[in-house]
Amino acid sequence: MSEHDPQQPSTSPDVVASPEAPATIAAPASAPAATATAAAPANPAGQQRQRASQMLQVLRLELQKAVVGQREVIDDVLTALIAGGHVLVEGVPGLGKTLLVRALARCFGGEFARIQFTPDLMPSDVTGHAVYDLQTEQFKLRKGPAFTNLLLADEINRAPAKTQAALLEVMQERQITLEGRALAVPQPFLVLATQNPIEQEGTYPLPEAELDRFMLKLRMDYPQADEELSLVRQVTRSAKADMLEVAPLRTLLQAKDVLALQKIASELPIDEQVLDYAVRLARATRTWPGLAMGAGPRASIALVRGARARSLLRGGDFVVPDDVKACALAVLRHRVRLAPELDIEGLSVDQVLQQLLDQVPAPRL
């Protein structure tokens, strides 16, 4: 955890691990007394979930200091962080895609690396390569920037498919093979990629195999009028002319904290009917009118993982159908393909998926 002024209360949760017990999360010091004590559940698992939820609320507020508006996108990024999935953020230039990732990295005390994808970027620039040492007369492995906890792949669609594919193994297996050796990357590992819309000049579409490895695809849109006014006011007060500062943000998370959050989320109870609902949503995309290609089994898994993370983020004790719906668009939009006739009519993938969500019956618990 980062060090704070001793006179200022720390909102960073402490994780205490012992050989006999799994890691536990302490409630943030700034949490209201009624919330941290009187309202705490009697069972230890419930207390852990409540403390984890309080910590996530503090983290959400910290990110909102740097990223004005875009609250849904912030929640989706936190969902992926809790669920242990990768995120693809799409939007036109200037909406704060990179700023959001930098802000999360600032609040995270683990290792962080950034790769600026360009047309001349080579796969070895991402994963690493072997170099010959003249002194020892042997080859040595030089690890690339992918050996980190948080990896920012900035403008990932600026690089050709060969370089983009360098991330396939590490995103799925959490390891990188160099010179025949499989080397594990630090845990937790999360790829946060940004891209401009495919219609922009000088971009390369991501291969479907790589798209499927992103748990969520988020779309950043233009801010509301009041949010843009607040953004302009805040930026023009900054020492830098055209960007918000992330330096004032506090470090609230360490790697072990994220692993503890992921474990708590994975143990959240989910009713068999809700599990079936998530699978039915994914399967419905394969036969839905207007979709030329549906989502595979990874979508069903991502829906359940995302729903558990959403439940923890809102402070729930179990997963409800609304948790599945909350992350459904982000999980499915990059895994399906719109039929050509609907594309010509001007319909979007999100509109078709929203119709699907409205018509597939959800269980009543």
- % of the chain at pLDDT higher than 90: 43
The pLDDT of 327-334, averaged and rounded, is 95
Residues in the chain: 365
Task: Give the tokens for residue 18.
Answer: 């012992």
More confident residue, 190 or 239: 190
Whether pTM > 0.85 for this model: the answer is: no
- Does pLDDT of 29 surpass 50? no
Tell me, what's the pLDDT at 198?
Answer: 65
For residues 88-116, average pLDDT: 85
Residues 204 and 348 placed together within one structural domain of the fold = no
Domain boundary residue among 266, 298, 324?
266
Q: What is the span of the domain harbouring residue 290?
A: 268-365
Asked if residue 230 is part of any domain, the answer here is yes
Q: Has residue 41 got a pLDDT over 50?
A: no
Does residue 339 register a pLDDT over 60? Answer: yes
Per the CB < 8 A criterion, the answer to whether 10 and 29 are in contact is yes
Which residues are registered as beta bridge partners of 218?
Answer: 89
The pLDDT score that the predictor gives to residue 27 is 47
Same domain assignment for residues 280 and 257: no
pLDDT band (50, 70, 90) for residue 307: very high
Judge if 257 and 314 occupy the same domain: no
Q: Does residue 123 sit in the same domain as residue 206?
A: yes
pLDDT digits (tens, 9 = 90+) for 277-297: 999 999 999 999 989 999 999
Helix (H/G/I), strand (E/B), else coil: 100: helix
Q: What's the whole-number average pLDDT of the chain?
A: 83
- The reply to whether 249 and 112 lie within a common domain is yes
Q: Taking residues 39-51, what's their average pLDDT?
A: 72
Does the structure show a pLDDT above 70 at 114?
yes
pLDDT of 323 above 90: yes
Q: What is the pLDDT of residue 9?
A: 42
pLDDT given at position 34: 41
CATH number at residue 305: 1.10.8.80
Residue 355 scores a pLDDT above 80: yes
Question: Could you tell me the pLDDT band of residue 248, with boundaries at 50, 70 and 90?
Answer: confident
Please give the Cα distance from 142 to 149 (Å, whole number).
Answer: 17
pLDDT surpassing 70 at residue 60: yes
Q: Is 5 exposed, middle or buried (0-12, 13-18, 19+ CB in 10 A)?
A: exposed
pLDDT value at position 232? Answer: 80
- Total domains present in the chain: 2
**The pLDDT of residue 288:** 93
| Phi/psi at 56 (5° precision) | -70, -35
Domain-located, residue 50: no
pLDDT tops 90 at residue 86: yes
pLDDT at res. 81: 93
Q: What is the model's pLDDT at position 199?
A: 62
Do 327 and 350 belong to one domain? Answer: yes
Residue 8 lies in a domain: no
What CA–CA distances, in Å, run from 208 to 18, 152, 351? 43, 20, 21
